[in-house]
Structure 1
Amino acid sequence: MQVLYDVLLPGPWWHPLTYSGNGKDFPEKGCRVRVPIGRTERTGIVTDAREVKGEVCDKQQFSCRSILYAVDEAPAVTEEILQTLFLAGKHFLCGPGELLKSAFPSPFFDGKEAPNAPRMSPEETRTYSVAFIRDAKDSDRFRSYLEILGKDDHGGFVIFPERNRAALFWENLPDKLKERAILWPAGNGKRAWESWIRVLKGQRNIVIGSMGCLFAPLTCIRNVIVEDEGNPVYYSRRYPYIHARSVLTYRARYWKAKLVLGGAMPSSRSFLFRKEKCTARTGGRLIFADKSEAREFEVRGVRRPLPVTDAVLTRTQEAAAGHGVVMWLLDRIGYASGIWCRECESILTCPKCGTATRWETRESTAVCPFCGNRGKLPEECPNCGGAFMEGIKPGIEASVDLAANLLGNKALVHEWHKAVTKEKSSRNKMLKKLEVSGGIVTGTRKALELCDDIPVALVCWLDIDTELLKPSYDVKYRAFRMIWESLWRGMEPENRKVILQTKKTGTAWQKKLGKGWHEFWESELAERKELDLPPWKFLVEINTKSRIKNEMLSILESEGFECLDPDPKSGLFWVRTEKTETLRKAVEPFFSVSRSKEGFPRMRVCID
């Protein structure tokens, strides 16, 4: 008897590869096997096995290579996880093989011994359900999550957009829940593998974590809680581009579990599903400051000044005098964003990828914000040889000097953003100083995470207008939720004031901040509906080689898809579609094994 096996391998193909084997000696669905591919070998997962008669692998019919050996004697992967891989790969147009790289810890594909996966199915009497928890204060939502977890002895997920928040939630679990719970580690190596084994053996049945725990091998899942479900962080930053909420929705549906979508502000899709009125009000805590009336502070070596209003200056001094914590937020890391030559007006770009660089005063460095390349700031313009190189817009480092002058003590001023080194130790030292003396934290929106650890008296957005200049269809939502988060996140939010420096006070979306997110979403969704934007239709970004792009555009347009091609010279274009399945069928030929040498397009599906 001969058996053909479909084997799912880490790779760009949208379908498993077929291998032959002896049915008596080779494993069943869910087992790992070692197979040849090209001139190398890889570990994959059996997704199907079927008996065949005759010499079906005769070279006259097709070439079918044989499995080398089985890694497992019994399945190491559950039926539910396999199904989730295929559903997510299908919907997000990346293929299940790409998902394998991030779904499993790396030792899984190194052939490390794994326990047998439980053979369990969802209970017939249960039904899948969706609930929404939209309290503005974190403490109220987290209390509800604990109540949900405490009512059931079976498995569950609680996922956060940031691992720090997951760790904080885990630390505050009651002892009875903590005995059953595991805080999923960062990374994909040894610690993740150890956690994987503990969950697979049933030693822990509550998984708390962030993006890295989506495929933790839980069984008998009863509750899936997604905190801050509208956070854009749930879109994976690296390929394959998936959305965490969608993946956990597939898992909840399989197990007929309760899906809980939580957050201080809902996503567009969940608001459309369940429209509710926002009951939280900002009261007098939100202050708009007209940037046209701001004082302009000159920054040495930077073309434009740093505008700061009297509202920010006076309220900062008042809060600091009472040993309060103040945040000055500016989403521009470094001393200045952009470096240009005053003589030829050319902008200094990264020699590796061509992105405009930023200026960091430490070691006078030019840093690429895209690829991370670092180089010494040139004394002369690489284009014309001119000696007048300067920054364009002041960054966080420039605001540090102004904050120190305002307080008269540089020790009371701290920086917090993703470029801060030794994050954990630096964070702890800073928090201890802030608890004792208060002070100013200058940083990006990342600094808002400190609200979880210490009461913040004042948050000042120094340049909120910049957020609205970004080329994204959901830019108003991102700005709105960012400010909403600064109003409600963390400890004692009711005592916090937020100042927005803006050139355009009183715009429609700003007024909605005082009325609640339901007012914002009603108008925003009406605009998006006219433009066929998410959540009404999916917007798919496709990035590929120019030649393949032209071929894809020709096929898609002939089949009636609406394609948007803003730059014909680049390999990037967009497609609007009501169903990703129809788009998938149209582009599937571009992902066959036969096109491996040409390279494969990468697609990102925008759902919110």
Structure 2
Amino acid sequence: MQVLYDVLLPGPWWHPLTYSGNGKDFPEKGCRVRVPIGRTERTGIVTDAREVKGEVCDKQQFSCRSILYAVDEAPAVTEEILQTLFLAGKHFLCGPGELLKSAFPSPFFDGKEAPNAPRMSPEETRTYSVTFIRDAKDSDRFRSYLEILGKDDHGGFVIFPERNRAALFWENLPDKLKERAILWPAGNGKRAWESWIRVLKGQRNIVIGSMGCLFAPLTCIRNVIVEDEGNPVYYSRRYPYIHARSVLTYRARYWKAKLVLGGAMPSSRSFLFRKEKCTARTGGRLIFADKSEAREFEVRGVRRPLPVTDAVLTRTQEAAAGHGVVMWLLDRIGYASGIWCRECESILTCPKCGTATRWETRESTAVCPFCGNRGKLPEECPNCGGAFMEGIKPGIEASVDLAANLLGNKALVHEWHKAVTKEKSSRNKMLKKLEVSGGIVTGTRKALELCDDIPVALVCWLDIDTELLKPSYDVKYRAFRMIWESLWRGMEPENRKVILQTKKTGTAWQKKLGKGWHEFWESELAERKELDLPPWKFLVEINTKSRIKNEMLSILESEGFECLDPDPKSGLFWVRTEKTETLRKAVEPFFSVSRSKEGFPRMRVCID
């Protein structure tokens, strides 16, 4: 008697690989096994086992390599997590094997000893439910989350788009809840493995974290809370491209748990599911400043000036005089976005990937915003040898000197964006200075996270129009939620004013800021329905080699899929579909083991 095992391995294949065993050391479903693959060995997870007669393999003329040995005597992975891996891999068109790399701490696949996974099933008497908490103020929503967690002694998740927010929520837990809770660490190494063990043993049954905790081995889950559920951050930035809310929805459904979708503004999908009127109003806290009337401040070495309106200048001085905290925000990192030659008008591009670079004042560096390559800013044009290289548009660093001159003290001006070194000590020092003396924080939208730590009197968006120029179908939503977050996030939002510098005051989406997000979504969803965009249909981005792209396009178009090919020379194209399952069946042949040498396409499913 021979036993065939389906083994799920970290890799690009959409299905487990089959291995044989003698059945003596019978590894169960959920056990780790060591198997050969190619010329190497890997650790995988058994997902199925079946007995076959010895001659079956001979008649079907295929051979199976044998499992080398079983790592576990009993399952180390629960049935529910295996099911979630397959569901997420299926829906997001990446395969469960790709998810293994991020779902488990790295020591798991190094063969480290793990506790036995509990064999538990959901209670038959329970039913899955969805609750929406859409209070504008963070403090009101968080209070509701604590009430939900406090009513149940069983397991639960609370997930945030940013780990800093998760840590703040954990720090403010009542002692009784904190005894049961764990703040999931960043990264995928030793600390994550230690947390994994504690949760698997049942020592902690409330997991608080961000994207890294989606597959924490909780059992008997009763509550799954997704804070700021419409935040685009929940789309994973690296492959495999999944959505955190969807993964936790699968887990909540399995355990018949209560799924709580929270946030100051709902996503398109949840608003479509449960339409409600927004009760929050800006109450005169939102100010539009016409950029055509702005003063234009010259920036040394940059082609275009930095426009700043009198509304920003005057209100900044007033707030700073009262030791208030002011934010000047511009979503352009660096001293200037774009570097060009005044003589031949060529733009300086990255030598590695060809993307236009930005200028950072630190060490006069040219930085690629796409691949991260850094190089010294050239004194001469690489194209014509000209000596007149300059920036194109001022970035956020260019506003620092202007802010310092306005306040008459550079010590009162701080920077906070992803290019700033993020040591916790430097952040704490900055917050202490702001608490005592106030001042200006110049930065990108990332600076809004400081609202969680200190009251902010004024937020000034220096160029809101830039947000609407980004090539994305949901660009209006991203701009709207960014301003909505500026109005309501963090401490004492009711005392905060927000100024938007724009060339187009009074546009439709701007007017809806004063009326509430339900007004925005009603019109936005109507537009998207006409264009068959999410959430009405899934929009799938496919990126592959040009030759494979042409082959895929031919098959998909012949099967009736609507394909969008904006650049025939690139390997990128888009597909609209009502169900990802139908698209999956059409492209599945491109993910077979036999095509490993050709490489596999990468797909991103847009759901909101």
TM-score range, shorter chain: over 0.9
Q: Distance in 1 between matches of 2:333 and 2:517?
A: 29
Of the structure 1 ranges 367-376 and 178-187, higher mean CA displacement relative to structure 2 is found in 367-376
Contact between 1:532 and 1:576, CA under 8 Å: does it hold in 2? Answer: yes
Partner residue of 1:45? 45
Aligned residue for 1:569, secondary structure, equals coil
Deviations 1:393-439 (A, max 9, x none): 00111100000000000000000001111431211110000000000
Q: Tell me what 1:503 maps to.
A: 503
Distance apart, 1:55 and its partner CA = 2.8
C-alpha distance in structure 1 between counterparts of 2:140 and 2:102, whole Å: 33
Distance 1:185 1:278 in 2: 35
Query: Counterpart of 1:100 in 2: which secondary structure?
Result: helix
1:598 deviates by 0.2
Once the two structures are superposed, what CA deviation does each residue of 1:163-190 show, in whole Å capped at 9, x if it has no partner? 0000000000000000000000000000
Q: How many Å apart are 1:56 and its aligned residue?
A: 3.1
Report the 3-state secondary structure (helix = DSSP H, G, I; strand = E; otherwise coil) of the residue aligned with 2:289. Answer: strand
Q: Do the aligned partners of residues 29 and 283 (structure 1) sit closer, same or farther apart at CA in structure 2, a change above 3 Å counting?
A: same
Residue 370 of structure 1 deviates from its aligned partner by: 1.1
Deviations 1:572-598, CA, capped at 9 Å, x for gaps: 000000000000000000000000000
CA contact (8 A) 1:4 1:52 kept: yes
* TM-score when normalising by structure 2: 1.00
Deviations 1:468-527 (A, max 9, x none): 000000000000000000000000000000000000000000000000000000000000
Name the CA distance, whole Å, in 2 between partners of 1:210 and 1:444.
21
SS class of match (1:58): helix
User: 1:200, 1:90 → 2: CA distance?
Assistant: 26
For residues 75 and 23 of structure 1, the distance between their equivalents in structure 2, rounded to whole angstroms, comes to 16
1:9-58 deviation line (CA, Å, top 9, x unaligned):
00000000000001121311000000000000000000000000123333
2:299 paired with 1:299: yes
- Contact 1:337 / 1:393 at 8 angstroms: preserved in 2? yes
Q: Give distance in 1, aligned partners of 2:337 and 2:272.
A: 38
- Determine the C-alpha separation between the residues in 2 that align with 1:55 and 1:482: 64
| TM-score normalised by L of structure 1 | 1.00
For the 8 Å contact 1:543–1:601, the answer to whether it is kept is yes
384-393 or 59-68, which moves further after superposition?
Answer: 59-68
Q: After the TM superposition, which segments of 4 or more aligned residues of structure 1 sit over 6 Å from their partners?
A: none
CA distance in 2, matches of 1:96, 1:386: 53
1:164-183 mapped onto 2 (5 Å cutoff): 164-183=164-183
How far does the alpha carbon of each residue in 1:340-364 deviate from its partner, in whole angstroms, 9 at most, with x for none?
0011111101111111111011111
- Structure 2 residue aligned with 1:432: 432
Secondary structure of 2:44's aligned partner: strand
Structure-2 change in CA distance of 1:59 and 1:345 (3 Å):
farther
Task: Report the Cα offset of residue 266 of structure 1.
Answer: 0.1
Q: Distance in 1 between matches of 2:222 and 2:586?
A: 37
Offset at 1:369? 0.9
For residues 259-315 of structure 1, the C-alpha deviation after alignment (integer angstroms, 9 at most, x for no partner) is 000000000000000000000000110000000000000000000000000000000
**Aligned partners of 2:159 and 2:452: how far apart in 1?**
16
- Aligned counterpart, 1:415: 415
Separation in 1, partners of 2:153, 2:334 = 49
Higher mean C-alpha deviation, range 92-101 or range 424-433: 424-433
Paired with 1:179 and 1:230, the residues of 2 have a C-alpha distance of 30
Superposition RMSD on alpha carbons, in Å? Answer: 0.7
Determine if the alignment matches structure 1 residue 149 to structure 2 residue 145. Answer: no
Per the TM alignment, residue 134 of structure 1 is displaced from its structure 2 partner at its CA by 0.0
> SS at the partner of 2:513?
helix
- State the secondary structure of the residue aligned to 1:72: coil
- Residue 63 of structure 1 deviates from its aligned partner by 2.1
Rounded Cα–Cα distance in structure 1 between residues aligned with 2:256 and 2:146 = 20
State the alpha-carbon separation in 1 of the partners of residues 126 and 474 from structure 2: 37
User: How far off is 1:59 after superposition?
Assistant: 8.9
Q: Given the alignment of the two structures, is residue 221 of structure 1 paired with residue 221 of structure 2, yes or no?
A: yes
Task: Give the match for residue 450 of structure 2.
Answer: 450
Paired with 1:423 and 1:331, the residues of 2 have a C-alpha distance of 22
Q: Determine the C-alpha separation between the residues in 2 that align with 1:476 and 1:599.
A: 36
Q: Secondary structure at the match of 1:550?
A: helix
Partner Cα separation in structure 1 for residue 323 and residue 314 of structure 2: 15
- Structure 1 residue 60, shift from structure 2 partner: 6.8
Whether the 8 Å contact between 1:31 and 1:46 is mirrored in structure 2 is: yes
Contact 1:26 1:69 in 2 (8 A): no
Equivalent-residue separation in structure 2 for 1:175 and 1:435 (angstroms):
28
**Following the alignment from structure 2 to structure 1, what is the Cα–Cα distance between the partners of residues 60 and 294?**
79
Q: How far, CA to CA, are the matches of 1:30 and 1:55 in structure 2?
A: 28
The answer as to whether partners of 1:451 and 1:491 remain within 8 angstroms in 2 is yes
Aligned partners of 1:69, 1:108: CA distance in 2, in Å? 16
* Secondary structure at the counterpart of residue 55 of structure 1: helix
TM-superposed deviation, 1:371? 1.1
In the alignment, the residues of structure 2 paired with residue 459 and residue 515 of structure 1 have an alpha-carbon distance, to the nearest angstrom, of 20
Distance across 1 between alignment mates of 2:306 and 2:26: 68
CA distance in 1, matches of 2:16, 2:161: 31
CA distance in structure 2 between the aligned counterparts of 1:229 and 1:49, rounded to whole angstroms:
38
Could you tell me which residue of structure 1 aligns to residue 191 of structure 2?
A: 191
CA distance in 1, matches of 2:413, 2:115: 52
- What secondary structure, in the 3-state scheme, does the structure 2 residue paired with 1:375 have? strand
How far apart, CA to CA, are the structure 1 residues paired with 2:11 and 2:346?
Answer: 41
| Residues 563 and 573 in structure 1, CA contact (< 8 A), matched pair in contact too | yes
